Structure 1
């Protein structure tokens, strides 16, 4: 932060008309946090477990060093300056003598933390704090801090761990950003150049420019998913801003056709309507747009790439801005613009360095009550590169996974990671063993499992060689929207295609979601269509046999962690099943066609979990056997429940059942039977020529339509 910028913020903080806007509140929040921390005696602890006292104290030290540095410039409070100088000297006193910490996983250890990633973070924030007080130090203080702390840390990262410094990964991004910002802080361009261009200086084998060129797809998507994307975004933006201020000739914000803008907006646009990020791959269920990286991104994109109303909407939902000149501009805009929903529209984000490895499709619809519905279909590459580092395998085996969100809640949810972050008594705050045995496995996701085996045999090296393929994405059809993708080779001899349509039906305020999951094989298999939900079962249209004694649903690939609570067998003429549940104030129903018959199995997570590491959550497994199978399922949102007012409305949905008319390589045709009698036939193309005219005959009936899909009303006599 420059002196001029700090003066601007100081005037903003004291002006009556702006002191309580988003920026004014952010500065005052930082002051309160710092003042509270300064009440503690200063301490430089030794080594500790991940999430333990020592770990957290080192982390809080760098957070508050950073706060104190910028607040010294803004407020000119001498105690903040003195705190930074004192703490940096304390660390410089001890750092050269510290032995390496003990690593309990495959991450290389630092001298302060159990892994160098945290040490990179410490260096980045401490270097920034140092730059704020640098002018106030005498020569002896500068040399002591620079030589015994910062240069020692840089040497650890660029020499001792040179093999990790240049990896193109979020860990590598933190490393180069920390070293680069440190180089600027101590005025050593040689250090900056290592960070910017890599240890070989070629901008290809490593360094910040290589990260920008190789880490993200052309659409800006990051292979590890939104949780790790938001983590990578923070050092990316902080270093980019430092480069722009110190070396504007690099034109960092224009690199790779403005990849910084595209990757920032790509991440923002994946968020659910409540701001939570989808839990793709290893992910927290609570991480959202209020993360620091996204706060910085919203402000910097607004400043560096121009005014965008959606960025203003982001700031309004975040209820804060980055403390800096960029936040100043955005705070003014947020004060003047009427609130907007977080509706980024419907689209596909391609995955892979060249956009060639599948992707992520999102459908959004804002209904007449202004509720925003969002469906997400995942068909990208496995979310890791195990060749870089064994500990960096954050991918899940969940091709063609589906998420569904409306009425401010995740209706079909992804479990996310198995980890109790920084809770030291729970496996040291690291990933729990069940992260591999359950959370990564296919049955833990809303997709189909074949023969109780995870996709790609649950093997990372195999999964990294495969990814899905987009079949179509339609966002402007009169009947609604749709997205379809294929996954081939995930199971030997089995091809999969999933098509998700968000349809507006006459007489319904909320759209229904039609899920057509088609599997084809020359051999017979067991197909398990899994759905993970939250709430209380309200109704089924079939009988359930409760399990007299709890047992695991299977022996491996995540099945060993599912208690089987009961099941219902589906047979007869309709061969359809319906299950309704209550979640919050809303009712939800699924209606599923099972042409080959089968079972609906009610499960709960928690079997073979002696340390109670997993969350106890329900799931449905719809099981069928055969060669070719079309799981045709309608998910309907309906009704309202208010226990305090003893009101229950429309507890039974409009969809009565789903019927599969037929499916083959050319097309799938299904019928939605409605209680109103205004039935709907849905026709969908499975052929590669999705745009042309289509015709298919099933049971002597000819069906014709144009485009990827179409609907046709059908009134019962």
Structure 2
């Protein structure tokens, strides 16, 4: 331990003498009171969800008691033995603490005491973790400081649950050599202070651990530092994180995957604050933004609750995770929002806490619960002025089928952000139709770069060509520099979801991804016999460029309405850098003059991208896997529409689900696209007009002003001798 850490511990110990008793209370002070524990014990048979959840906790605790306590010297990467053992230890500590409070059986408290005394022997003398990475703040128990913060959040809750049953002498040892030592390291050491004051999910875990420790130990200085930053000047700390990391709509800048992860410390620490300092009214802070954060992250999921894999995200995560069990329970306890109950019911477990008790009682008394996924326009940025996300959702004529489109025109999302300005995703229920790779990582699999992010996360997953957007001159947005991208945001021009069964539309502009190139994408989900997506992507520049419109699709190619030359004998990469080096060129197509179509099958549905093309348009079919000697990447498929040597250009595409395939019945219906023609009627600096004609002669004409206008503004256009007039940003004419 370095001298600075020792001094920090000494100062903290001195301060606690001066502030003893400021927060100190008898019994647990964080998430579960004695009264609540007794109520849980008496209702284990009445509230089935609580009985099931506590049974799981108790079984884990009982199993832990059967084994010898082991606190190994840290030596491994994520996924290695010592890494996983310290994770297991904090979970066993927490579960045993809960088992003690609910049952009153002393053996569980003794287990917590003994394990913490073992940590007290080891922790103060631990050096920085031997497998730390130079570019990240190191922990002592784990290779990154974040995991030490997570240990502290769980460990202090366990101690809180049994503290009153530990002798004064052992409390002194545990508090000095475990909790004060760890809190000082994570907030005052050279390795920890930067993270503690960072507006980032790592910082949230750090301040939550410190603040909760302060409440348990009765240390006002710890609590104030957690709330207001290490200098207590309110420039950092928990309140500043709530202000900076969430938009007014509750969107978290790093995306829903990390919003899920960060919500546990946000909600758990908020619960501790509310119980110890109710005068802060933490759950009302910023217009109840924590409530909005929980609701928003739940909406940012597919029909089975899996998060849309925006930015660095693992697709396996859904709202059944531990973090969101805590978040939904605490949100329901403090906001009494019945809209959350269907999710709690699907989670099929509750936390063993006061919040979990209230949630379990509500579920027991509720009838059938359905969680409603709504179309939404979600603002990004602390002031709601940093772009955002549009979620389009529309049912089809098929039973229980919903088409969902995600249009991302949000901020970068810090270091976990991807270079996917104006990107889209498309889902049919839980099926990815146009997909996002998410993160290139095998979390905690030691053989894959120690469970960390793979090199391919930077060379592929974060690159623009890994997404459903336009790439200029084979260069990623902002040249792949997230710090440069963090300074600029797309601009929402207009959006309307007021008539969701008929039309949902958003138009956004990106002005800075490429010097001298303006990018505008307008995405509309249009209600028809089968809903379809009308996608209009305009590029404007004073200089000629190559523009690649990329679609990463999921499924199997069925047919193309254009000729192509397949790479039968030899595969070559699409390029040399910026992610292109990872794409094999499977085929190169010759575009039609008019409309080129690409059809694939996903599960039981056919999908076609119909794009307006000319004789100079190039079409490519690609597959991921090139330049991947360690087989780190999934073999996913892409379809790219390329135009070269253009200054101004507009891609117009229709993305259309159609037909069905039933291999059991050997039945195929409507396997071919129903788009007959696509016309760009007008495109200038002020207006865009597009017409789509289907084989049944139905036409849809979309006209819109490229810049945002007031709702009562009148627009007039004359196209091919016909006059059009409308008010507001856009109009759609169906014939």
TM-score by length of 2: 0.91
Answer whether contact 2:494 2:708 (CA < 8 A) is retained.
Answer: no
User: Closer, same or farther in 2 for the Cα pair 1:593/1:338, shift >3 Å?
Assistant: farther
- Measured in 2, the distance between the counterparts of 1:337 and 1:500 equals 39
| Cα drift, residue 336 of structure 1 | 4.3
2:145 paired with 1:116: yes
Aligned residue in 2 for 1:585 = 604
Aligned residue in 2 for 1:52 = 80
- Measured in 2, the distance between the counterparts of 1:595 and 1:684 equals 24
| Cα drift, residue 700 of structure 1 | 4.0
Aligned residue in 1 for 2:725 = 704
Pairwise CA RMSD: 1.9
The correspondence of residues 297-696 of structure 1 with structure 2, limited to 5 A, is 297-308=327-338, 310-368=339-397, 369-384=399-414, 393-477=415-499, 479-505=502-528, 508=529, 510-548=530-568, 549-572=570-593, 574=594, 576-595=595-614, 597-625=616-644, 626-689=646-709, 691=711, 692-696=713-717
2:314 to 246, 269, 284: 284
For each residue in 1:454-479, what CA deviation from the matched residue of structure 2 results, as whole angstroms up to 9, or x when unmatched? 11122223212211011111112473
The correspondence of residues 34-53 of structure 1 with structure 2, limited to 5 A, is 34-47=61-74, 48-53=76-81
| Cα drift, residue 41 of structure 1 | 2.9
Query: SS where residue 512 of structure 2 aligns?
Result: strand
User: Closer, same or farther in 2 for the Cα pair 1:218/1:46, shift >3 Å?
Assistant: same
User: Closer, same or farther in 2 for the Cα pair 1:339/1:584, shift >3 Å?
Assistant: farther
- Measured in 2, the distance between the counterparts of 1:547 and 1:267 equals 43
Answer whether contact 2:404 2:429 (CA < 8 A) is retained.
Answer: no
For each residue in 1:422-466, what CA deviation from the matched residue of structure 2 results, as whole angstroms up to 9, or x when unmatched? 000001111111111111111011100011111112222321221
- Measured in 1, the distance between the counterparts of 2:659 and 2:346 equals 27
- Measured in 2, the distance between the counterparts of 1:676 and 1:175 equals 61
For each residue in 1:500-524, what CA deviation from the matched residue of structure 2 results, as whole angstroms up to 9, or x when unmatched? 111111xx2x311111111122222
2:224 paired with 1:197: no
| Cα drift, residue 105 of structure 1 | 4.0
User: Closer, same or farther in 2 for the Cα pair 1:485/1:186, shift >3 Å?
Assistant: same
2:244 paired with 1:219: no
- Measured in 2, the distance between the counterparts of 1:339 and 1:320 equals 17
| Cα drift, residue 396 of structure 1 | 1.1
- Measured in 2, the distance between the counterparts of 1:612 and 1:701 equals 57
Query: SS where residue 363 of structure 2 aligns?
Result: helix
2:51 paired with 1:24: yes
For each residue in 1:593-649, what CA deviation from the matched residue of structure 2 results, as whole angstroms up to 9, or x when unmatched? 125741221001111111111111001111123222221111112222222332222
Query: SS where residue 127 of structure 1 aligns?
Result: helix
Answer whether contact 2:562 2:592 (CA < 8 A) is retained.
Answer: no
Aligned residue in 1 for 2:277 = 247
Answer whether contact 2:590 2:615 (CA < 8 A) is retained.
Answer: no
Mean Cα displacement is larger for which, 428-437 or 181-190? 181-190
User: Closer, same or farther in 2 for the Cα pair 1:184/1:557, shift >3 Å?
Assistant: same
Query: SS where residue 544 of structure 1 aligns?
Result: strand
User: Closer, same or farther in 2 for the Cα pair 1:493/1:339, shift >3 Å?
Assistant: farther
| Cα drift, residue 209 of structure 1 | 1.9
Structure 1 outlier segments of 4+, above 6 Å: none
| Cα drift, residue 263 of structure 1 | 2.1
For each residue in 1:127-150, what CA deviation from the matched residue of structure 2 results, as whole angstroms up to 9, or x when unmatched? 100011111111122112111111
1:85 to 102, 109, 113: 113
State how many pairs are aligned.
695
What are the ranges of 5 or more consecutive residues in structure 1 without an aligned counterpart? 385-392
Aligned residue in 2 for 1:126 = 155
Aligned residue in 2 for 1:390 = none
- Measured in 1, the distance between the counterparts of 2:655 and 2:372 equals 21
Answer whether contact 2:93 2:112 (CA < 8 A) is retained.
Answer: yes
Answer whether contact 2:409 2:423 (CA < 8 A) is retained.
Answer: yes
- Measured in 2, the distance between the counterparts of 1:556 and 1:670 equals 35
What are the ranges of 5 or more consecutive residues in structure 2 without an aligned counterpart? 1-31
Answer whether contact 2:310 2:438 (CA < 8 A) is retained.
Answer: yes
| Cα drift, residue 9 of structure 1 | 1.1
2:260 paired with 1:230: yes
Query: SS where residue 534 of structure 2 aligns?
Result: strand
Query: SS where residue 13 of structure 1 aligns?
Result: coil
TM-score by length of 1: 0.93
| Cα drift, residue 72 of structure 1 | 1.5
Mean Cα displacement is larger for which, 229-238 or 76-85? 76-85
Answer whether contact 1:100 1:109 (CA < 8 A) is retained.
Answer: yes
- Measured in 2, the distance between the counterparts of 1:709 and 1:695 equals 11
Answer whether contact 1:273 1:342 (CA < 8 A) is retained.
Answer: no
Answer whether contact 1:395 1:440 (CA < 8 A) is retained.
Answer: yes
Aligned residue in 1 for 2:44 = 13
